[in-house]
Structure 1
């Protein structure tokens, strides 16, 4: 009789749960964190770009963005289309 066969059902279940937990921890340990955050938002989709340009134009008109800042960001967004 092997050692595994001598274990009770609860002990076998405990070993299985431990192995599963270790597998999950291994995946988590090797995973890379998402690169998206408040300071690094995801890039806009093509459908979002006209709306983004409109928002930039509003900020520019309000004096929040300089002419250079507006032109640079607008060009960046248009390059993504």
Structure 2
């Protein structure tokens, strides 16, 4: 059999075209896959950084609230209700005056409230 020299025949041309097309497709698919992986990795990195920033902002906000709460003065306790009029007996008045003085010393009553309650007891 004699081998032909020169241009390939129809089958040879189809085979060469198939090889070139297959190689081009494989290279193209490989490049697309690589680009998709890079895009996915970049998106994951962006999401991680956003989560880190959000966590840092939350921590800073909690710290600011804690500092503000520590710096704010505590609310004053509600004043104690005025004692009811005592029954007849000198010992109750003395005990009531002592209780009022203790409340004033503890800061629960102001001097004006103490004087008003004392006047009611004695008057």
TM range (shorter): 0.3 to 0.5
Higher helix fraction (1 or 2): 2
**Which protein, 1 or 2, shows the higher relative CO under an 8 Å CA cutoff with sep ≥ 6?**
1
TM-score (norm 2): 0.32
TM-score (norm 1): 0.45
Decide which structure has the larger Cα Rg and report it: 2
